[in-house]
Structure 1
Amino acid sequence: MAVRHIVFAVAPDLVLLDACGPLEAFWRAELTIAASAAAGRPAGSGDSGRSAGSAGTSAQPVAYRTTVASIDGGALQTFPGLPIVTERLDTLDDQPIDTLIIPGVPIDAHCTLQAELVAWIRRNAPRARRVCSVCTGAFYLAAAGLLDGRRATTHWGDASQLARRFPKVQVDADPIFIRDAGRGPSESVVWTSAGVTAGIDLALALIEEDVGHAVAMQAARRLVVFMKRPGGQSQFSAALAAQASADGPFEALHGWMAAHLCDDLSVERLAERTQMSPRTFARRYVDEVGRTPAKTVSALRLEAASRALAESRRPLKRIALDCGFGSEQNLRRAFLRRFGVLPLDYRERFMSAAAPHGGAVSAVAETN
């Protein structure tokens, strides 16, 4: 079996870390495979598909060959500024591509995608075994028509714009990554992922699919990251801010809600606060914010509880009361339903080692 050729097709305004994260993950997988071969032990359950031979050491097994390419090739200025050297994409037209990855670019309301790159993706994606995007790279896949009728994700802050610009895409803003196998065996598998570090999650999932869990796990350990992060993007982002404008008509209400999480936040109470009838309030709120008041209350309480778990060692009972859940049991149920993990498991994974007993930490590990 041929070495798997991973092609990063990048735009001129590439977000550098969107490409660097996955590249580093594939390299760490190579180090794991080489170390296992040198020790005379199998690297993982999926290793039988690898071929031998690598640059400089022909006896070492190789899983991947990576290429970073752009339309014009040469040095490419990236966001936020560090240049990289790329190959020309047209030099790859006669080369096999196992996995095509499109990293992200800065996106705003006036963003214009590079037409030549969109056309190249449209021509070449069908010959790849799988096609992937990191963060806003999903906009390029969507522009090339590869996400039509498919479920896809991107960075939570850009998901609504992706849905508006490409209504044929079934956008889900929460998952860290999505694997969509398409409608039949003739279609490529398409993976989309959230922002920046989610590219590492995506790459580890690809590595696990290719060469087994053991290699992917060792690569994750070398990177000092989770093999599979629990929950979705909502645990890392300001979920409310993603769906309600900062200067919207309910800005003051949201601030009051966040400061009174343990109070009665029913529709009737919120309507009274805004001097509207409950029916009028509920209708206008959905129109302006894009979800029901109850979902906003739930998001605010979960966000506050997540922050309390990550930044302090307060007991669950105290956090449940302070954040409006009423009881530990309700807190546990909410975490399982939204994140798929128990509150104490969440604390174990995301709390800074600097957290003092009974107090808040001075800094929290950075996430997406």
Structure 2
Amino acid sequence: MPDCITPSRIIACFAFDDVMSLDVVGPLQVFASANGELERQGRARGYEVLIIADAAGPVPTSGGFKLYADLGWRDLELNTVDTILIAGGDGINRVRQRSDILEWLKQAEGKLARLGSVCSGALVLAEAGLLDGKMATTHWSRCDEMRQQFPAVQVIEDRLHSYDAQGLDGDPHIFTSAGVTAGIDLALALVEADQGRAIALAVARRLVMFLKRPGGQAQFSAYLTPAIGGTAQLAGLLEWIPGNLDGDLSLEALSARAAMSARTFSRVFTRDLGMTPARYVERVRIEAARALLQDDAMSVTRVARLCGFGHPETLRRAFQRHLSISPQEYADRFGRKPDVVAV
């Protein structure tokens, strides 16, 4: 059972010019809402929330409005703080180049119970070397960048966060979250670890959220980004594939169309796109299926046939493998209801 007489935990979120506002206020609202739930039960408040920045005062966000920082990060007494979260946003690359901030984070890591990030804030932790050897995620659009620039980090694309209080499938000390609203999922996990499941569930209900969202961020990403690498040999083929998903897209058929031997084609394709031809084809088919499933007039069976999966069960297995959700669940969540025309 959580200790009800433990003093409030100080949770500080680091903001900067052009920060994503929701990366800051989303997680902090979860902790503030937890205070409300605790008080409704006659228990002491569990958290004190702070926004920190270069200095106390207004912080311009990427949304065109300002947040107000309670104090400068240099003035934060680290030995009194439980958790620091590094937000993400358009200004994150400037923060990554700040040696003073990186050094501060290295020092803070040893004094804090928890150090985490929201969205692209993970790149700051990676830049400081604090994610080496650890599982980490970030916004889906920057996972490849993290993987390439920080090979010592174990990048996990389809996880909403890498926090695990038990340290069995994640880290209880240094952790990251995926894009934007995943910071709220992370904060709920922290509240559950601190205050128990009942409080975390009450907060989730209050905020009209899942306590644990099904699936991962791949459900929301532009899953396929077919950029060409160091050669234009494959450009024509990559343009042709999406229009022929229900045809023969085997290695032999694709290599013949590219006028290469199967062995050479496989080597060139993997070198330029970072994945095998079979995996690429499956990802294109999944992306097409995702688009079609957003139309409520399309059945799962028809989508499976049009996208080259053949049988709905094959489509279901592919969706579970890549998106951790079934095609029907995806259609229910993201489908566009037909317009109702008044007569």
TM bracket, shorter-chain basis: 0.7 to 0.9
TM-score normalized by structure 2? 0.86
Summarize the Cα distance change of 1:160–1:334 in structure 2 as closer, same or farther, 3 Å threshold: closer
- TM-score scaled by length of structure 1: 0.80
Matches within 5 A, 1:123-202: 123-179=107-163, 189-202=173-186
Q: For residues 190-269 of structure 1, what are the structure 2 equivalents within 5 Å?
A: 190-241=174-225, 244-245=227-228, 249=232, 250-269=234-253
SS at match of 2:68: strand
Name the SS for the 1:157 alignment partner: helix
Partner of 1:8: 13
Task: Report the aligned-residue RMSD.
Answer: 2.8
Q: Tell me, yes or no, if the aligned pair for 1:103 and 1:135 is still in contact at 8 Å.
A: yes
Instruction: Write out aligned runs for 1:230-309 (5 A).
Output: 230-241=214-225, 244-245=227-228, 249=232, 250-309=234-293
User: Which range is displaced more, 83-92 or 20-29?
Assistant: 20-29
2:32 & 2:134 partners in 1: Cα distance? 30
Distance 2:94 2:8 in 1: 40
Aligned equivalents of 2:91, 2:58: Cα separation in 1 = 22
Show structure 1 runs of 5+ residues with no match. 38-51, 53-60, 358-368
Look up the match of 2:39. 34
Candidates 94, 106, 118, aligned match of 1:122? 106
Q: Distance in 2 between matches of 1:116 and 1:13?
A: 19
Pairing 1:36-51 to 2, within 5 Å after superposition? 36-37=41-42
Matched AA of 2:37:
T
The structure-2 alpha-carbon separation of the partners of 1:199 and 1:188, relative to structure 1 and needing over 3 Å to count, comes to closer
Structure-2 change in CA distance of 1:181 and 1:224 (3 Å): closer
Alignment partners' CA distance in 2, 1:24 and 1:246: 42
Give 1:183 shift. 8.9
Runs of 5+ unmatched residues, structure 2: 1-5
> 1:176 touches 1:233 (CA, 8 Å); kept in 2?
yes
Give the aligned partner of residue 68 of structure 1. 51
* 8 A contact 1:126–1:188 mirrored in 2: no
Alpha-carbon separation, structure 2, partners of 1:97 and 1:325: 52
More off after superposition, 139-148 vs 334-343: 334-343
Does the C-alpha gap of structure 1 residues 99 and 311 become closer, same or farther in structure 2, counting only changes over 3 Å? farther
Residues 240, 299 of structure 1: 8 Å contact kept = yes
After the TM superposition, which segments of 4 or more aligned residues of structure 1 sit over 6 Å from their partners? 107-111, 180-184
Q: Percent identity?
A: 38
Return the match for 2:318 from 334, 338, 344: 334
Deviation string, structure 1 residues 20-77 (Cα, Å, up to 9, x no partner):
221222233333333444xxxxxxxxxxxxxx5xxxxxxxx31211111013232222
Aligned position for 1:81: 64
Change (3 A) 1:149 1:155: same
Aligned length: 331
More moved, 139-148 vs 282-291: 139-148
Per the TM alignment, residue 108 of structure 1 is displaced from its structure 2 partner at its CA by 8.7
2:75 and 2:193 mapped to 1: Cα distance?
Answer: 28
**SS of 1:5's equivalent?**
strand
SS across alignment from 1:299: helix
- Give the letter for the 1:114 counterpart: R
Distance 1:256 1:29, change over 3 A: farther
Aligned to 2:81: 97
Q: Counterpart of 1:255 in structure 2: which amino acid?
A: E
2:13 corresponds to which letter in structure 1?
F
